Amino acid sequence: MLFRLFKTDSLPGFNPKILKHNILMHIGDGSLYMFGMNFIYAYTVIPVFIQQAGGNTIAIGAVPVLWTIGLNLPQLFFIKPHFTEKRIKKFVLKYAFLNRAMYLLIGLFTFFVLSHLNQTIGVICILSLYFLAAIIGSVPIPGWFHLFSKTTPVKLRGRLLAVRQLLGSSLALAAGSLTVLILSAFNFPQNFAILFFTASVIIMISFYFLSKVVEDEEQYVNTKKAEAVNKFILVKNILRTNAPFRNFILADSLNTMCLTATAFYPVYALNKFNIDVSYTGTFTIITTIGMAIGNFFLGYLADISGHKVNMVILAAASLLASLTAVLANNILAYGLVFFFVGIALSVLGISRGPFVIELCSPQERQFYIAMLNTITAPFSMFGVAAGLVLGFLNYQVVFLIYILLAALSIYWLIKKIKEPRMAAFN
């Protein structure tokens, strides 16, 4: 039944048997990784973890900042301008394993060390370890996108990413329920340590599926002296000459700033409605439902219509999340905030990277992904700025600022960005 969604028999350049195998391996890897990471979700669980550890609003706002910068900023420093190696899988597996091991280390630190430290030092240590995990995780991301692109036809990528996330979202419902149970049943900080242990086991299982992806050797056109070009000069030239990519970077920077609001949504809810910390798991469940619904529809939409429409939906969902946070007067209505966050995150996983790799050649994929991530990562510092503003203004004013940013992103996406497939057709 699954392969009715993925018609693999008539795609030039792909062996149907190997393609079916790789689709299953990609689904197993992605869905289990998402399942595991929902126990330590950067947008709901970790901000509350920092609050419970004694962190102030600046530390809480730093969570998505450190996550985004660590996961994106270093990439350009590890990537060649033109990739000409025949295989990339070994490199991806090395750093994917190290990234997974870091979450086990954070769990051990939380369980055995955190309670013996001064609160300020403890919060700094947690944020530092979390940042290091993100940095290590950033190294294989461009390579993974290249591996994914090599092993998946362009017209199946949206659906495959959506199915990975849809199954992951379904499993994440269980993760949210178990998170509620664990946070309620155990004392701090052991409850959060158990969340990290659980996540570590599951994402190590996902690593097995990633290791079984079959990669063929790839031959590239001779790029002559491309390797001798200074990569930062090359970045400047690309930004000057590739207007579609340049315009997309601006829209993505706005979206990056908008997504930093997610750190404040759960903490604001705990304070405003005076609810127990275990509600964090409920917020994760609602976010997961939003992701599941988004994945169900938006992956197919991307394959049919292209990824631009999905990026507009991401910005609109960010706007609606902040607007709901301002207007909601009870916890039930406030739950819609996390539903819209889920929609936005589903698009982030389905369309952000695939949009970019349609703007470049195969040997440039890794470099373009690294450029996108490195250039836009500093804009996540807006989360720290928002945390500073909260020292003087209230949450509603900060959420209004996020609404304006999302509205600007919607305008820019609609007016300035063309769908690559339509541009190529014309």
123 Cβ contact list (under 8 Å, min separation 6): 50, 53, 54, 55, 59
> What pLDDT does 383 receive?
87
Query: What is the distance between the alpha carbons of residues 60 and 126, in angstroms, rounded to a whole number?
Result: 12
Q: What is the DSSP letter of 77?
A: G
Mark residue 147 as left, alpha or beta (left: phi above 0; alpha: psi -120 to 50; beta: remaining): alpha
> What pLDDT does 425 receive?
41
Query: What is the distance between the alpha carbons of residues 243 and 341, in angstroms, rounded to a whole number?
Result: 29
Nearest to 28 by CA among 185, 154, 160: 160
> What pLDDT does 211 receive?
96
Number of H helices, E strands in the chain: 19, 0
Query: What is the distance between the alpha carbons of residues 240 and 242, in angstroms, rounded to a whole number?
Result: 6
The pLDDT tens digits of the residues spanning 27-45 come to 999 999 999 998 998 878 9
Contact 303, 156 (CB under 8 A): yes
Cα–chain center distance at 115: 30
Taking the CA atoms of 87, 89, 90 and 94 in sequence, report the sign of the dihedral they define: positive
Cβ count within 10 A of residue 425: 7
Query: What is the distance between the alpha carbons of residues 32 and 39, in angstroms, rounded to a whole number?
Result: 12
Amino acid at 333: A
Q: What is the DSSP letter of 249?
A: H
Contact 127, 62 (CB under 8 A): yes
Distances (CA, A) of 17 to 22, 144, 214, 217, 279: 9, 21, 11, 17, 45
What residue ranges do the domains of the chain occupy? Answer: 13-212+229-425
> What pLDDT does 422 receive?
66
Q: What is the DSSP letter of 82?
A: S
89 Cβ contact list (under 8 Å, min separation 6): 147, 213, 215
Distances (CA, A) of 329 to 190, 262, 324, 332: 33, 18, 9, 9
Q: What is the DSSP letter of 254?
A: H
> What pLDDT does 2 receive?
55
> What pLDDT does 192 receive?
97
Residues 13-212+229-425, CATH architecture? Up-down Bundle (1.20)
Cβ count within 10 A of residue 55: 25
pTM of the model: 0.76
Q: What is the DSSP letter of 220?
A: -
State the average pLDDT for the chain: 88
> What pLDDT does 11 receive?
65
Q: Which residues of the chain have pLDDT under 70?
A: 1-13, 80-86, 217-229, 422-426
> What pLDDT does 158 receive?
78
Cis peptide before 153 (omega within 30 of 0): no
> What is the SS3 assignment for 247?
helix
